Structure formats: C-alpha cells, structure tokens
C-alpha cells in the first residue's frame, strides 16, 4: 500500500522533509501507523525539482529499504528543493521489486506516485493500455498498477484544454480516476480501488484521496500549511511563498495537520492556499471546515 | 546485443559450462570477440532445470555484471543440471537495467533468451501486445523487445497442435519470428531485426539464428555436440544421452564447434543428433554439411 | 539483532526449511515475534553444502530484504542440501548494509552466523584483531562484530588438538566466547554481549545461546529433532540420519520444539542425538530435562 | 586499476564534468584508453561538497557500472558543486564488489580516492592497521588497499602542525606514501605500488602521481586549468576563482591538458595556480615547464 509525501514551498533541505520529522517518511518505511501492515520496505524513490538547472525533475530510486540507505541519507543532507516527492513502497506479489516499479514515475516535467491499488489490476491492464495514446503507452516501463494509472493521467491531460496548469492537472487526475473505475467496472470482478495519487509539475501539485470501497474509507492523507523545518538561509527566501506538505501520515505532532477530505483532490499552488476539487468530477468544492480552521491557526 | 549459451545433456556442473571454458560466457561478459562492442556488463541471468524437484525451472538474475558476482560464482560451483540457459546483457538505451529486463524470461516450464534486436521496437510494441492472447500478455513485466517477443512465442505455441514437443517449440519460434517481422513491416520504419533466440522446456531446446538485414549476416551462433566438461560422477550418467552446447561464441578451441546456419533453427533433443528447421517456415532442412562433418569427428 | 536457522539432517529442499513453515525465517524477516523490533530487513544470506561436489559450501547473500527476493524464492525451490544455514539481518547503525556484512561468513569449509552483539564492539575491534593469527585476520572483509568474532573462532580452532571435529568446534566456540568477553572487559565500557552463534562444517554443527547481561536472559533459541518437511524422495534417504533444526524462533506449532538452555552450546551430529556443552568452559553438561521430554515425544 | 577525476573551481553542474566531455569518466568506465584493460565496471562513486549546507560532503556510491546507472544520470543533471570527486572502479580479485569498497572514502570533511595498488597488500594490511591511531583505524569499513591507505593519510594528517590546510594535506599525503612504501618494504615481497591518490577537503585538493616500480612509470594523470564546461549562470560566478580539473585521462581534445609530473603531488587552491610538491618528501618543486606553458595559454 505504500506511504507518500509531497512538499511544495520555499526551498528546503530534503533531510528536513524526509529524515528529521518525528514520524518522517523514512520512519514510516519501518513503522507506519495507519496501515494494518506497518512495513514499507520494498524500495523507495525521491523526485525533486531544480528548476533553474533543468525542467526535468531528478529521480533517485532504489530497491533497498529507505531506512538504512546511505546514499539517501547523503543526498538528503545536501539536496535542497522547492518541490519534493518521496515514496516508500510495500510491493504486492504480482509486481516485482525492481527499479522500474519504484515510484515516483516521470513523464516530461511531471512526477507521479501512488498509495493504493487499482482493483483487479491484472484483468484491467490490457484494456487500460489499449485506451491510451501512443505517448502515454510509451511511458510504461514496468508492471505496477500505479505506472499504468499514470498513463491514463497522461492521456487525460493531453486531451484537456484548460489553461490553468494546476486546474488542468486536477481535472486530468479526476478524469483518470473516473476512467480507471470504468475500466475496473467493465473488465474487473468488483475489486475496490484505492487511489491516493500525488502529481506535480514542479510549480503546482495535486493529490487525490479516494476509494470506491463500500465503506467509503480511503487510505489516510493529511496536509499541513506552513513551515515544518528549520530555515536554510537566504536560499529559502528566494520565493516568498507559503509551504504546504501533504503526507500519508502526519509527520509531526503539530496541531496544524488536517485530513484531506475523502473523495477530494487537494490542489497546491505557490501563491495561494490549498484548493479542493471533487476527485471524480474535478469540480471545485468548498474547503473543508476543519481544515480551514487549522490553516487559519 | 548480449551473449547467450544453452546446454542440454547429461547432468553437468554450472561452473563447467559458464565459468571454466577458456572463452566462457563470463569471459564474454568482459571480452566478447564477435561483437563490435566487447562488453556485456548490464546484468546477467541463468536458468536451470531440476526436473526431479520442480517442473518450473529456477532463474537467478542480477543487474550487476557477471564477471565479479560472488553469488554467481558460488552457485556455479555447487549447482548441477541437465539443462542450463545463461545470458549476459548489453542493454540498449531505451530499456533500463533492472531485474525484470534480465534474461532468461520464464513462462510455465519454458525459458527464453535473446541475442539481438527487434527492429524499431518502440514503434512495434503496441501492435505486438495487441496481437497476443491474455495469457501471453500477462507474462510481460518489463520493457525489453526480447520479453515482448517471448509473448509472441507463447501465443504462437498455444495456437499449435503439433504433438512432438520439440517440433512444436521450433514451429512456434518460426511463427513468432514471422509474426514479428510482419509487425515491424507494418508499424516500423524499415529497421533490421536480429533474432538469435534460445528457448527450452527442460527436455528439448530450440535456438534460432536469423536476421532480415540486407547483408543477411545474423549474429554469430555455434553448437558443439559432445562433452565439454569434466565428468561429475554417477549423477552425470543418469541419462545416457549426448550433450549439446549452443553458444554465441565458441567456448573452447575444440575443432568440433560448428556454425548454426543463418536462417535456421537448431533443435536439440536428449536422444538424437541436432535437427535443423527453417527459421521462418519451420520446415525441416537437411543438416549443414560442415556441421555434419564436425559432429561425425 | 537478526534471526537465524540451521538444519542438519537428510537432504531437504531449501523451501521446506526457510519458506514453507508457518513461521519460517522469511516470515521472521518481516514479523519476528521474540524480538522487540520485529523487522529483519537489512539483507539476508543462505549457506549450504553440496558435499559430493565441493567441500566448500555455497553462500548466497543479498542486501535486499528476504521477503520479496525472487532469486531466493527460485533457489529455495530447486536447491536441496543436507546442511543449511540461513540468516536475516537487522543491521546496527555502525556497520553498513553491504554484502560483506551479510551472514553467513565463510572460512574453508566452515560457515558462521550470529544473532546478537559484541558489547562495545567499536572499542574492542582493534584489540580483537591484534589477538588473532594472520590466517584469521585475513578472513575479515567487512565491519561487523559477527565477522570479527568469527576470526576469534578461527584462531581458537587452529589452536586446538581435539580430534572429534564436533567437539573441537564446540570447544573453539566456547573459547572464542570466553576470549571476546575478556576483550570487552578490558577494552570496553561494560556493554553486554549477546552471543547466539551457529557454526557448521557441513557434517556437524554447534550453536551457542549465551549472554553476560545481568539478567542472564540471552536471545531466544530453539531446536527440533525430527523431520519438519515433506519427504523429497530417494535423495532424502541417502543418509539414514536424524534431522535437527535449530532456530531463533519456533518455525512451527509442533510441541517438539525445545529451548536451548541459556549458557550452553548445542552440538549436532548426523548419527546421534544433540549434545550440550557449557558455552564458556566447553565442558559437556547433562541434556536439559525438558528438551529430553520433547525429543522423546 | 580504476579511473578518477577531481574538480575544484566555480560551481559547475555534475553532468558537465562527468557525463558530457567527449572522453568523460563515464565513457572511461567502458573504454578507458590508457589502461591495458579498458573496463572499469565494478561500481563507482561520486563525492561532492555543498558547503553552505554541510561541511560533510555527500557521497553517492553504487556497485553497478556507471555507464547505465539512471540515478547517476539524474543526479548529474541537477547537482551543482564547486568541488567534485568521481571514481569508476576495476576491482581486484581480493576485495569484493560492495558499497564499502567503492571510492571515494570519507572522513570528517575529507574525501579520498585511489587509482593504483598497494604492493603485496594482503601481507601489509595487518602492519598498516597496527601503525595508525584509533581514529584512523575506526574509519576502515571495507577491505580495499585504498581505504587502508586513507587511514595512513588520516593518521599522518593528525600528526602534522602545518597551518596551511592545502600544504598540510600534501605533506600528509607524501608522508602516507612514504609510510606505505616502508610497510611494503618490511612486510611485502617486493611488489610495486601505484599511488595516484586524490584527496580534498572541499576548499583545497591534492593529487599524487607516483609509483616505485622499476620502470618509474606511474599511472597516467592530467590536469587542466580553466573552464571545461558551459556556464551555469549566476551561481557559477559566486566564487571568482579559477577552475582546475585533474583526471586519469584527458577528458577533452583541448591542448591545455598537461601531465602531472611523475613522482609529484599537485596542489589545488581556489585562489592560485596549481603548485607541485615531491610525492615522498612533500617539498615544493618548480612547476613543470610543459605544464606552465599550457596553463599560460
């Protein structure tokens, strides 16, 4: 089922985001608290943007667990970025542990990662691939449901005219979720889908929290508006924007963490507070009352 | 372009086959002699049968080079088998170095490995996948042309009624080669295909040597009838059959090595001399004069 | 702290020993039950003997976790042996996760693995290395306390005249434990040592259960006399000997599992019931009453 | 024997240094031109400084070859640094391929890498370790001659009073070379040592080119004063210093490459031209005539 974390804000050091918090993602790789099975040891991945150097984000992925990976600890100490995605994986039996199956996945400037499952994926895979354009098809290198879903997202994005890039991503994500559910409905055997998906282009990000399971309870997902980490000096001030962190589990004991409402997509922009849209229709919804309270704090 | 080796015969020790020969496959991983580029360092794989224990063969694959892999050296020393496939890889840029892309690939009791290229594979991949049955489609986990070709083989095999299992494999291989060329012809841009493919079910094996390049020169492929290795005692006598080794390059200085004729598939059986069929029609052809001389020696 | 398992008996399939038991070592890599921290995901190793082919045992080690390693699953299915050692690792911070630090360690025909810690190892390492002969020193490739302890064992073994090979190993193990405690006493700062050590030469094995902690409670260790696994046919009957399995945790719900008494070393031979010696003096002690009852059952 | 590269200068992108040059280090991992054996495929490592974030440099090491490592390509694209060390390895049989044996090695703010061999290292190792202080001893995690030599350097450095940090490093390097030769002389059997060693603290660097072989021909080593790479904008101008690159082989066809004279150590500082000292006495020598001409160009 995996755990994931996304950060958009002023430049921050990777270690402040993924190593140092009390319940950091690396900690969650060993001891996640909101999954039945606490272990996410089947590899990990980090993606980050260094926009002044390259529009294409960097990705560092490994099939060894995150908790004792020295390269990761080294990178985390010296890499800074204003947009970071990180993921620790719990592999399902059907898709092997190899680098092609580690999140985040990349296409052009976009990164995508997933916490969840596409229902009956083995039955759905073929129709899914047949339904997307060559560009999206050609970006599939491995065998995970997550990477195949990303192809649906790419295909949906390419078909949209929306000019606002954040809204376009959110609409494409909603459309892709809608399409995958339709595919599971027609080719699957009634399996539930869990679709906590995080996607960014380096300047904006969208993260869904969704399931079609009968009980309506998706995987956990939280967000925090504000700065979680120590100031790293002049660099951090380059962009006078707010920081937002979205994570499968609360990284700290701060009261400011709020749940992303079930069935919604949170939209992050550098210059304004998070916005919410419906995870299937893509239409804007009012911000959650509880979350509003926290962010106002 | 890779290098490969297949052995069918009395039980032999892995190290006798892949480590000890003067120009062993492990040596070829560093210094192949019949490729322009001598290096095959992008991982390796070995498959072998232990029929008394499991119909399904064992596969050991790694993304590190073969030449300094301690696990491989250990296994080679203690594993014996009467059917072995081994492969060292030179990855092309488009498909990454990960375990899912290491040969040999497996389906049921079959193992498959490839030395060569499917022409214009990126353009062909989609149509290829669309042309095979669900069973064959579901066996594709990575992004190599080789594994996709194996899906064509599986699909072809499932459609054949031939009762002789060795002939059935040869016909399926010929049909798959024919199909892949048709796919390249319709979806590709005139790229050449190099199809040295080795497939076994543990009791029989087929290996093609084929290209449709204008010069008609396929990748090198040799075979040797007889015992290349020291006797390993009573176990080796369990099956009173002849030994045949097929390899991209001659493993030893023995005069007995003969070329597999271009455009043909060599068929190996435990109880009789190698047989040859045409690599596209699958029809039996007379054994090559030169090879006959050598094997008679 | 790690988990370990050793088997000596008629030829058995690896999977019967390390995969299939209800609470197999692979299961313990994710969910050990008798450690505070249930996870042993920092690599693993298997050593096994194929005496008819090589006096030197084979070792297969990897830095990825055991639970999702496909190579391990493949090997376990087709490899049989009459003497197997297997280990899953939980690395301490000071020694990195790399293959040189994975157990079992090898010297000549001997394999060694460890569940525990040498107290204050960083302070002790130097004196320990200075105290052993060149042969033992030259066998240290990594930085674990376990491999360094093995050097003490090698040095102790080389200094003993005892002719019975099993007793010689037990005496060397006892002497090495005694020596390491003396080294910790003189160079350390009072740290406790936990010394569950398993060593085999392929025909005999010794496993200690020892600590000098004030509470006198060593790491858990159990043994089971008899056959835990399905018969694998004629091969299994080659040696008409009893089977004994020693393991950090009980692999099955069988009532026959007995604790190795704290402070003792269990000695396994192919042709007689387990014997016990004191873990520091190396002197034979009476078999534990409770264990005797179980093995009689 | 390995290949290595060191850069000290204005901030540059990693890819400009190790990927893009016509004969880059990554190219040398496959096709080095000044070694008998062109292959350096047994892992690699990069170390770099991000001084504003951490005095301790970052190290990224891997046991897979450099030429097809996607993580390396990603990092190279987005990481910039004003001091970079990079190494591709050709392992000798005696020391295994594992991360602890990949260069560069680190101690405090120092990084060290080696192209060459300590003569008769197996015979020398013990005495070498016995001759260094605890601090230096405690920094040895693997089994390479290179990492053990670094312990000699550390020990030598700690014993020097020299205030100029660059000169202190050069003197410690010369002293360590002298000490290792004495150790080989007393414990070895007349084996030659090849000691091309690069060490940096992030602000200065020293690189030796030395052998005691009878023919007096050390491994190749070149340096280039000036900018080899495209300008990366404002960041690059932060430090108004010259750039110097030192490399086992010339990275480009530029006429400006000069050989480091045999038997000397080149000293790099941010604010002045390279300086040379004798590799055994540590005494300053006149700059090489030929090199002077080139750097004047």
What are the pLDDT digits (tens) for D110-165?
Answer: 999 999 999 999 999 999 999 999 999 999 999 999 999 999 999 999 999 999 99
Residues of chain D in contact with residue C129, where contact means CB-CB under 8 angstroms, are 126, 129
CB contacts < 8 A (B, D): 32
Residue D38 has pLDDT above 50, yes or no: yes
Q: Does B10 touch chain D (CB under 8 A)?
A: no
Of residues C286 and D269, the one with the higher pLDDT is D269
Residues of chain B in contact with residue D96, where contact means CB-CB under 8 angstroms, are 68, 70
Go through D145-178 and write b for each residue having 16 or more CB atoms within 10 A of its CB, e for each that does not: bbbbbbbbbbbbbeeeeeeeebbbbbbbbbbbbb
Residue D292 has pLDDT above 70, yes or no: no
CB atoms D48 and A78 under 8 Å:
yes
Is the ipTM of this structure higher than 0.90?
no
Mean pLDDT confidence for D254-273: 95
Interface of C with D in 156-215 (CB under 8 A): none
Read off φ and ψ for residue D168, nearest 5 degrees.
-60, -40
pLDDT in tens, B163-185: 999 999 999 999 999 999 999 99
Please state, in angstroms and rounded to a whole number, the distance separating the CA atoms of residues D54 and B241: 67
Lowest mean pLDDT among A23-27, B145-149, C144-148: A23-27
pLDDT in tens, A4-13: 999 999 999 9
Q: Does C131 touch chain D (CB under 8 A)?
A: no
Q: What is the nearest CA distance from B100 to chain A, expressed in angstroms?
A: 7
Q: Does D134 touch chain C (CB under 8 A)?
A: yes
Residues of chain A in contact with residue D79, where contact means CB-CB under 8 angstroms, are 50, 58, 79
Percent of chain B with pLDDT over 70: 91
- Rounded to the nearest angstrom, the gap between the alpha carbon of residue B120 and the centroid of all alpha carbons in its chain is 21
What pLDDT is recorded for position A232? 64
Residues of chain B in contact with residue C59, where contact means CB-CB under 8 angstroms, are 70-71, 74
For residue A1, name the pLDDT band (cuts at 50, 70, 90): low
pLDDT in tens, B247-263: 999 999 999 999 999 99
Q: Does C239 touch chain D (CB under 8 A)?
A: no
Q: Does A122 touch chain B (CB under 8 A)?
A: yes
Instruction: Name the residue of chain C whose CA is nearest to A92's CA.
Output: C68
How many CA atoms, within 13 angstroms, populate the side-chain half-sphere of residue C241?
Answer: 23
CB atoms B77 and C61 under 8 Å:
no
CB atoms B39 and D42 under 8 Å:
no
Residue A64 has pLDDT above 90, yes or no: no
Distances in whole angstroms, Cα of residue B250 to Cα of each of B241, C77, C187: 22, 32, 59
Of residues D6 and D95, the one with the higher pLDDT is D6
- From A58, A61, A71, residue closest to D78, measured CB to CB: A58
Beta bridge partners, B150, equal: none
Mutate to test the interface with B, among D2, D26, D44, D64 (most CBs of B within 10 A): D64
Distances in whole angstroms, Cα of residue A91 to Cα of each of A42, A95, A99, A232, A240: 6, 7, 12, 35, 39
- From A41, A69, A96, residue closest to C65, measured CB to CB: A41
Q: Does A94 touch chain D (CB under 8 A)?
A: no
Q: Which chains touch A (3 or more CB pairs under 8 A)?
A: B, C, D
CB atoms C39 and A42 under 8 Å:
no
Residue A220, both tokens: 């956990």
CB atoms B78 and C58 under 8 Å:
yes
Mean pLDDT confidence for D273-292: 82
Distances in whole angstroms, Cα of residue A273 to Cα of each of A3, A8, A223, A293, D279: 24, 12, 12, 13, 61
C-beta neighbour count of A290 within 10 angstroms: 11
pLDDT in tens, B185-221: 999 999 999 999 999 999 999 999 999 999 999 999 9
Mutate to test the interface with B, among C13, C44, C71, C100 (most CBs of B within 10 A): C71
What DSSP line would sit under chain D, residue for residue? --EEEEEEEEEEEHHHHHTSSTT-HHHHHHH-SSSSS----S-EEEEEEETTTEEEEEEEEESS-GGG-HHHHHHHHH-EEEEEEEEE----TTS--SGGGSSPEEETTEEEEEEEE-TTHHHHHHHHHHTS-HHHHTT--S--HHHHHHHHHHHHHHT---SSHHHHHHHHHHHHHHHHHHHHHHHSSS---EEEEEEE-SSEEEEEE-B--TT--PPP-EEEES--S----GGGGSS----EEEESS-SSS-TT-EEPPTTEEEEEETTEEEEEEETTT--EEPPPHHHHHHHH-
Q: Does D91 touch chain B (CB under 8 A)?
A: yes
CB atoms A71 and D61 under 8 Å:
yes
Please state, in angstroms and rounded to a whole number, the distance separating the CA atoms of residues D51 and A15: 16
Q: Does A54 touch chain C (CB under 8 A)?
A: no
pLDDT in tens, A256-294: 999 999 999 999 999 899 999 999 999 999 866 654 444
Asked whether C242 and C215 are in contact (CB, 8 A), the reply is no
CB atoms A141 and B137 under 8 Å:
no
Q: Does B135 touch chain A (CB under 8 A)?
A: no
Residue that is written with structure tokens 């073929």 in the block: A126
- From B100, B125, B143, residue closest to A96, measured CB to CB: B100
For residue A296, name the pLDDT band (cuts at 50, 70, 90): very low
Name the strand (E) or helix (H) holding A183.
Answer: helix A165-187
CB contacts < 8 A (A, C): 32
So which residues of B are the catalytic ones?
2
Asked whether A247 and A220 are in contact (CB, 8 A), the reply is no
Q: Does B92 touch chain D (CB under 8 A)?
A: no
Residues of chain D in contact with residue A59, where contact means CB-CB under 8 angstroms, are 70-71, 74
pLDDT in tens, D6-37: 999 999 999 999 998 888 888 888 888 887 77
Lowest mean pLDDT among B81-85, C78-82, D30-34, D263-267: D30-34
Instruction: Name the residue of chain D whose CA is nearest to A234's CA.
Output: D52
Lowest mean pLDDT among A170-184, B80-94, C28-42, D71-85: C28-42
Residue B278 has pLDDT above 90, yes or no: yes
Beta bridge partners, B103, equal: none
C-beta neighbour count of A286 within 10 angstroms: 8
Q: Does B89 touch chain D (CB under 8 A)?
A: no
Q: Does D65 touch chain B (CB under 8 A)?
A: yes
Task: Enter the DSSP assignment of B236.
Answer: G
C-beta neighbour count of A254 within 10 angstroms: 14
pLDDT in tens, A97-148: 888 899 999 999 999 999 999 999 999 999 999 999 999 999 999 999 999 9
Residues of chain D in contact with residue C98, where contact means CB-CB under 8 angstroms, are 98-100, 142
Lowest mean pLDDT among A70-74, A147-151, C266-270: A70-74
For residue B296, name the pLDDT band (cuts at 50, 70, 90): very low
Nearest to D276 by CA among D221, D199, D208, D181: D208
Percent of chain B with pLDDT over 90: 71
For residue B49, name the pLDDT band (cuts at 50, 70, 90): very high
Highest mean pLDDT among A60-74, C254-268, D50-64, D234-248: C254-268
Instruction: Name the residue of chain B whose CA is nearest to A102's CA.
Output: B98
- Residue ranges of chain C with pLDDT lower than 50? 236, 291-297
Reply yes or no: is the peptide bond before residue B283 cis, omega within 30 of 0. Answer: no
């Amino acid at each position: 089922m995996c755990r994931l974390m996304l950060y958009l804000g002023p430049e921050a050091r990777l270690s402040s985001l993924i190593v140092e918090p009390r319940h950091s993602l690396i900690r969650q790789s060993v001891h996640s608290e909101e999954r039945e099975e606490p272990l996410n040891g089947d590899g990990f991945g980090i993606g980050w943007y260094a926009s002044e150097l390259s529009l294409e984000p960097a990705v560092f992925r490994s099939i060894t667990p995150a908790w004792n990976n020295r390269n990761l600890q080294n990178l985390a100490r010296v890499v800074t970025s204003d947009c970071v995605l990180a993921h620790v994986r719990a592999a399902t039996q059907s898709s092997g542990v190899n680098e092609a199956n580690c999140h985040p996945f990349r296409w052009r400037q976009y990164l995508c990662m997933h916490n969840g499952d596409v229902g009956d994926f083995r039955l759905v895979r073929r129709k899914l691939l047949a339904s997307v354009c060559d560009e999206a098809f050609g970006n599939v290198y491995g065998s995970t449901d997550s990477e195949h879903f990303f192809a649906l997202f790419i295909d949906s994005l390419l078909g949209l005219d929306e000019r606002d890039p954040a809204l376009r991503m959110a609409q494409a994500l909603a459309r892709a979720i809608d399409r995958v559910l339709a595919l599971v409905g027609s080719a699957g055997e009634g399996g539930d889908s869990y679709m906590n998906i995080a996607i960014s282009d380096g300047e904006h990000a969208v993260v869904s929290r969704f399931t079609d399971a009968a009980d309506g309870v998706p995987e956990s997902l939280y967000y925090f508006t504000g700065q979680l980490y120590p100031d790293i000096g002049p660099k951090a001030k380059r962009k006078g924007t707010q920081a937002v962190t979205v994570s499968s589990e609360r990284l700290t004991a701060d009261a400011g963490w709020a749940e992303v409402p079930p069935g919604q997509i949170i939209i992050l922009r550098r210059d304004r507070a998070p916005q919410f849209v419906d995870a299937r229709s893509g239409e804007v919804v009012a911000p959650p009352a509880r979350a509003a309270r926290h962010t106002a704090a």
